[in-house]
Amino acid sequence: MPSEDLVESWDRTRGHLARAWVELSSGTDLTHYQEFLDHNELGLAMEALANAGNSARTPAAFWEALADAADEMQLSEAAGEYRQRASTS
């Protein structure tokens, strides 16, 4: 059974991913994103959102939310990449 701290981290990550999701334009295919969330594959869900964001015009808030999710998962390289994308959006 996962620790309470880990479950809380997952919840925070899901919140960051949800913030990014709302920034995507309607009509974006997010089938894989939802499947990854359903299986608690949060890193893959983040990547699915990033891929969707690459093929759509996304505001800085989208990339900032993904950077926050990456930070929560201690993925500093991805967080840096997303923050860079936010600064150029």
pLDDT along the chain (89 residues), means of 10: 91 96 82 92 96 87 97 97 93
The residue type found at 5 is: D
pLDDT value at residue 14: 96
Rounded distance between C-alpha atoms, residue 73 and residue 78, angstroms:
10
Rounded distance between C-alpha atoms, residue 14 and residue 87, angstroms:
23
pLDDT value at residue 69: 98
pLDDT value at residue 18: 95
Local structure of residue 10 (DSSP, 8 states):
H
pLDDT value at residue 72: 97
Six-digit token string for 44: 């893959």
Place of tokens 């808030």: 61
